[in-house]
Amino acid sequence: MAGADPTAAEPAEEAAPAGTPLAPMQAAGEAQVAIHTRGLTKRYGDFTAVDSLDLTVRQGEVFGLLGPNGAGKTTTILMLLGLSEPSAGTARVLGLDPARSPLEIKRRVGYLPDAVGFYAGMTGRENLRYTARLNGIPRVAAEERISALLDRVGLTDAADGRVETYSRGMKQRLGLADTLVKDPLIVVLDEPTTAIDPTGVAEVLELVRELANGGVAVLLSSHLLHQVQQVCDRVGIFVQGRLVAVGPMGELAEQLGGGPLVVEIMPAGAPTTAAETLRAVGGVTAVEPDERDPRLLLVTATRDVRADAARALAASGQPPLHLRRRGDELDEIYRRYFAAGEERAA
C-alpha cells in the first residue's frame, strides 16, 4: 500500500487500512498540510521500528518529534524522504508519495541528519556549492544564496576555511545553512542541538523559529526536551515506535489520562488546617505534605481542582501563596509518557 496513488485511494476506501482520503481537498481555514502519515510502519524482521504512525505537520508550524534514542525518529524521517521503504501505511509529503516521487520531495525538503558531516577537504562554501548543484540551482543565484545563508548562521569569516578546521558547533551551523540552500518548504532537523554549546542551541532554535514564522514547516526530532520545548508549536512523544501523545505542550497532560492529577499548594496558614479544608473540596482524593518541602501540600484529585481549591482556601482565610499543577513541565510529562510507553510495550 505504500505506493498507493492518492487519487486511487478514495474508491479503495473499503480495503485500504488508511481509509481517509489523502487526496488534496479544499478545506476552509485549515493550514496547508506539509506532512501527513497514516499507519506508517517500518519493520526490520521481527523488530518494529515505527508502529502505525499517524502524523500531521502543517506549514508554518514547528513540530517536535520527541523521544529517547532508538525510538524510531530517524527511521520515520528516512521514510518521509523516501530513503527507506515503509512496511505498511501511507505517507504524504507535500501531497506526494515519498516512495514514488522522492526527487520532487527531496528538492523541497531540507534535511539535517543526526551527526551531520561535510567533506573535510573542501571549504564550507564549497560544500554548500555542491549541495546547490545537486539541487539544480543556477550558479549565480546559488552564490548569492550561499553567502546570505553563511551570513545568517554566522559563518562568513570561516566560510573559505576547510571544514576540517571547524568546531562541532560550526559544522552544525553549516548543516543548517546546507538544509536551507534549496529554499525548502519543509525542514527536517534530526537532533539539531546535540553536542553543541548552550549559546549555539539558542541560535539554532532562534533560526528554527524564524523559519516557521516564514511559513516553513519544521519537523524537529530530539531527545533533549528542555532545549526544544520552547520552539515547538506541537510535540509528539515518540516511544518505541509509537506516538503516545500529540498536541501542544499544554494539552499533553490531559491526553495522558489515567494518571491522577497532582496540584502543589503552599497555603498561607498552617498546612494541617489547610489540608482539612482541601479534603472537603469535591474531587480531591488525598492531601499529603510534600516530603522535600513541608510547607507544600500535594493534592491528588480526579479533576482539575485548582480553582476550587484556591477558592476554598481563600474562603477559610488561608489564601494560597503558591499553586501549581505538577506535570505541566515537559520533563515530568516526558517521564510519565516514557513510563506509559514502556508499560504498553511490556
* Shortest separation between residue 321's beta carbon and other proteins, angstroms: 45
With contacts defined by CB under 8 A, name the span among 127-135, 243-251, 314-322, 330-338 that binds other proteins.
127-135
Nearest to 305 by CA among 331, 277, 329, 330: 277
- Does position 121 bind other proteins by CB under 8 A? yes
With contacts defined by CB under 8 A, name the span among 89-97, 139-147, 243-251, 267-275 that binds other proteins.
89-97
One of 1, 2, 39, 209 touching other proteins (CB under 8 A)? 39
- Does position 48 bind other proteins by CB under 8 A? no
Alpha carbon distance 175, 184 (integer Å)? 14
One of 3, 11, 70, 117 touching other proteins (CB under 8 A)? 117
- Does position 104 bind other proteins by CB under 8 A? yes
Question: ∠ CA(275), CA(276), CA(281), 5° rounding?
Answer: 90
- Inter-residue contact 50 to 42 (CB < 8 Å): yes
- Does position 156 bind other proteins by CB under 8 A? no
**Backbone φ, ψ for residue 180 (5° rounding):** -95, -5
Alpha carbon distance 59, 214 (integer Å)? 9
Torsion sign across C-alpha atoms 303, 308, 309, 312: negative
Pairing, β 320-325 against β 261-267: antiparallel
- Inter-residue contact 38 to 19 (CB < 8 Å): no
237: alpha, beta or left? (left if phi > 0; alpha if psi -120 to 50): beta
- Does position 38 bind other proteins by CB under 8 A? yes
The interface with other proteins within residues 54-73 (CB under 8 A) comprises 54, 56, 59
- Does position 36 bind other proteins by CB under 8 A? yes
The interface with other proteins within residues 208-267 (CB under 8 A) comprises 217
* Shortest separation between residue 214's beta carbon and other proteins, angstroms: 13
* C-beta of 89 vs 200, nearer to other proteins: 89
User: Count residues contacting other proteins (CB under 8 A)?
Assistant: 62
N- to C-terminal Cα separation, the chain? 29
* Shortest separation between residue 109's beta carbon and other proteins, angstroms: 8
With contacts defined by CB under 8 A, name the span among 51-59, 282-290, 310-318, 328-336 that binds other proteins.
51-59
Q: Which residues contact 105 (CB under 8 A, 6 or more apart)?
A: 80, 81, 82, 93, 94, 96, 98
What is the binding site for other proteins (CB under 8 A)? 13-14, 17-27, 30, 32-34, 36, 38-39, 52, 54, 56, 59, 74-75, 78, 81, 83-84, 92, 94-95, 102-104, 106-109, 111, 113-122, 130-131, 133-136, 175, 178, 182, 185, 217
